[in-house]
Amino acid sequence: MSIGREQVEKVAKLAAIAVDDAELEPLVAQLSRIVDYVEQLNEVSTPEGTEGFHPGPETLPLREDVVRRFVPGNPLDAMAPEFEGGLFLVPVRGTMAEE
Amino acid sequence: MSRATPATVAAAATGTALAQADADGLNATLHWSQELLDQEAHRADTSQRSGGTGLKLYGMPVAVKDNIVTTEQPTTCASRMLEGYVSPYNATAVDRLRAAGALVACKTNLDEFAMGSSTEHSAFGRVKHPLDHARVPGGSSGGSAALVAAGVVPAALGSETGGSVRQPASFCGVVGLKPSYGRVSRYGLVAFGSSLDSIAIFAQSVGEAGKVLSAISGHDTRDSTSAAAPAMGRPDAWTDLSGIRIGVPKEYMPADLHPGVRAGVDRAVDALRELGAEVVEVSLPHTKYAVPTYYIIAPAEASANLARYDGVRYGKREVGPEGDVRALYQATRGSGFGAEVKRRILVGTYVLSAGYYDAHYVKAQRVRALIADDFRQVFDNGIDLLFTPTTPTPAFRAGEKTEDPVAMYLADVFVCPANLAGTPAMSLPIGRSEGLPIGGQFMAPYFRDSRMLSTAAVLEGLLDGTAEVR
C-alpha cells in the first residue's frame, strides 16, 4: 500500500478530523487506492519550470477601493453555537497542546 | 381579494408539483414551503408593477441547489455540519434570478458539499432517478436535475466543480450548462474547489438555459475571479450549422464505450452533418490524465475551503472529550462531515503536506496546464466546438459504485476536463438506451458560451432527444 496507517493518522491530525479505530482501516485502504490512482501523473513529462494553470480571465478587474457596510439579512450571532457580548465563545480548555 | 397573476399561478402549481415529487419519494428537495413560494410571487409582481417591464424570467420557478446561499431558507450543503444554518446574505445568482422576476422554488438535495457523482452522499438520503428509482440521477447536483427532469420546475441552478451539472443532466435527460469560469459570480456559492467551481444551469431546453444564463451572468465586484464582462446577451438563433467546424476527440470515443452511448453520439454526429457542420476527428492527448489531475487539485482546494467548519462561529459543534480547542475542531469535523467529504479532505491534506507537495500538487498543476493547452491548440487550429458523449454510460444503479471511490470518480471522465480548462460546456439529450437518457456534450473556447448555445439549439431542433437509439 502506498499510504500506511501512520500516515493517515498524521494527515487526520493535520486536517483536524477525529478518526476512530473503526473508520481507520477502511480509510487506509481507500486513501491508498486513491493515491495509487493519481500517481499515474508520473507518466507525464513536466519539466522543471513548467507553469501551472488557473482558468478565467487573464487580468482580474479591481473594484473601487471604497468601504461598504455589510448589512446582514439574518443576525450573525443567530447561528453561532455560543455567542455573547460580540464574541464567539469556545469551551475553556487551556492552551493548545504541543504537537 | 387579489387577482391571480402568472406568478401567483406558477407559485401554486409549483407547490403542488413539489408536494407530489416529495410524495413520489424522489427526495430531491431539502427545503420548500408554499408560504415562501407565495412570497416569491408577490416579490416578482411588485417588481413588475414598479416598472420592471420585460423581466426576462418573470414567473419562472427555479430550484436552487442547497450549496447556494439564501437568507430565507437554510443552506445545509446536505451536511450535518450545516444542518439548520441560515445565511446572512443571498448569493448574487439568487439576487439576479429575483431581479429578473424568477421565483426561487426550493433548495435541492445534493452530494454533501458537492462532493460526489451520484447524490448518494447526502446526509439526508439519496435522490432517486425520476425514470427509475433504483438508479441514481447523477451528482452532485442530483436534486436539481431530478426536479427539472420530472417537470416540477422548468429550470434549476446547480454547481460544477468536476461536471456536477452536465453529468446528472445527461443521466436525467435534460439540458445542463456550465458557463465559462468567471462568467457567473461565485459570491454565495459555498466553496469546494475555488479554481474549478461554477454555478451552472439545468433546463428543459437549450433556449431556457440560455435565458437563465443571460439573467445571472455578468461581472460582480464581490467575486474576485469574476470576468470584467457584462451579462451574456441572448444567443443568436441560427437555422443551420453551415460554416461550423466541430471536432470529436478520439480520446472520448474509446473502444469500450457503452454501445447505447456510442449509438447516440453517432446519430447526433449524423445530425450535425445534415445541418451543414463539418465534423472531424481531433485529439486531446492528455485527456486520460484529467481525472487523476482533478482528484489532486479539487481535494487540495477543498481541504483549505472546508477548514472553516470548526464549530466556532456557525454550524455543528461537538465538544468531545476533555482536551484543548483542537479537540473541539477534531470532534466537530469528525462527526459533522460524511465519509466522502472526509476522504477528500484527507487526500487534499496529504497532497499538500511536506514531502508530497511537489510530487503531487505541483505536478497536478503542471498537468492541468497541459490539459488546458490541448483545448487551446484544437480551437486555435480552426475547430469551433467539440462534441463528445457526456458520460461513458447511462445512469447506473444506486449502490453500484459506492464501495470503490475511484470507480465513482471515473463517471466524470468526460466532464472534468472542461472544469480544469475553465471552458464552457453543456450537455443536451441525444437519445435513450433501454429507456435511459444519453447526453451529448459540446465544449467551446473560453467565453464563447453564446456560440455553443446557438449550435446546441439547432441540433436540439432536429434531434428527438427521447428517441431510442439502441
Do residue B366 and residue A51 have CB atoms under 8 angstroms apart? yes
- For B29, phi then psi, to 5°, come to -110, 150
Residue B290: predicted pLDDT: 97
Do residue A55 and residue B421 have CB atoms under 8 angstroms apart? yes
Placement of cell 431546453 in the chain: B205
**Chain A contact for B402 (CB, 8 A cutoff):** no
* CB nearest A56 (choices: B182, B303, B330): B182
Contacts of A27 (CB under 8 A, 6+ apart): A8, A19, B342, B343, B346
- CA nearest to B373 within chain A: A53
For B319, other C-beta atoms within 10 Å of its C-beta total 15
Note whether B417 and B290 are within 8 A (CB). yes
Question: Is the pLDDT at A99 greater than 70, yes or no?
Answer: no
Q: Give the ipTM.
A: 0.92
**Chain A contact for B444 (CB, 8 A cutoff):** no
**Chain B contact for A41 (CB, 8 A cutoff):** yes
| Set of chain A residues whose Cβ sits within 8 Å of the Cβ of B421 | 53, 55
| Set of chain A residues whose Cβ sits within 8 Å of the Cβ of B366 | 44, 46, 50-52
What end-to-end distance do the CA atoms of chain A give, in Å? Answer: 27
Angstrom CA distances, B193 to B92, B113, B160, B298, stand at 18, 10, 10, 5
Question: Is the pLDDT at A98 greater than 60, yes or no?
Answer: no
Q: Which residues of B are catalytic?
A: 65, 140, 164
**Chain A contact for B357 (CB, 8 A cutoff):** no
Do residue A93 and residue B195 have CB atoms under 8 angstroms apart? no
Quote helix, strand, coil % in chain B, to nearest 5.
40, 15, 45
* CB nearest A33 (choices: B353, B406, B446): B406
Q: What is the mean predicted confidence (pLDDT) over A55-77?
A: 85
Residue A95: predicted pLDDT: 63
Euclidean distance between CA atoms B196 and B297, whole angstroms: 9
Placement of cell 408577490 in the chain: B42
Enter the DSSP assignment of B81.
Answer: G
Pick the residue of A9, A17, A59 with the most B CBs within 10 A to test the interface with B by mutation: A17
The reply to whether omega before B33 is within 30° of 0 (cis) is no
Do residue B346 and residue A31 have CB atoms under 8 angstroms apart? yes
| Set of chain A residues whose Cβ sits within 8 Å of the Cβ of B86 | 74, 78-79
For residues A68 and B203, the model is more confident at B203
* CB nearest A17 (choices: B227, B342, B446): B342
Q: What is the CA radius of gyration of chain A?
A: 23
Residues comprising chain B, all counted: 470
- CA nearest to B320 within chain A: A18
Low-confidence ranges of chain B (pLDDT < 50): none
**Chain B contact for A45 (CB, 8 A cutoff):** no
* CB nearest B346 (choices: A15, A40, A53): A15
| Set of chain B residues whose Cβ sits within 8 Å of the Cβ of A17 | 330, 333-334, 337, 342, 345-346
Position A96 confidence tier, pLDDT thresholds 50, 70, 90: low
Looking at every residue in chain B, the average pLDDT score rounds to 96
Residue B396: predicted pLDDT: 97
pTM: 0.97
**Chain A contact for B227 (CB, 8 A cutoff):** yes
**Chain A contact for B158 (CB, 8 A cutoff):** no
A-facing residues of B in 403-422 (CB < 8 A) are 404-406, 409, 420-422
**Chain A contact for B86 (CB, 8 A cutoff):** yes
Do residue A35 and residue B368 have CB atoms under 8 angstroms apart? no
**Chain A contact for B356 (CB, 8 A cutoff):** no
**Chain B contact for A97 (CB, 8 A cutoff):** yes
* CB nearest B367 (choices: A3, A35, A44): A44
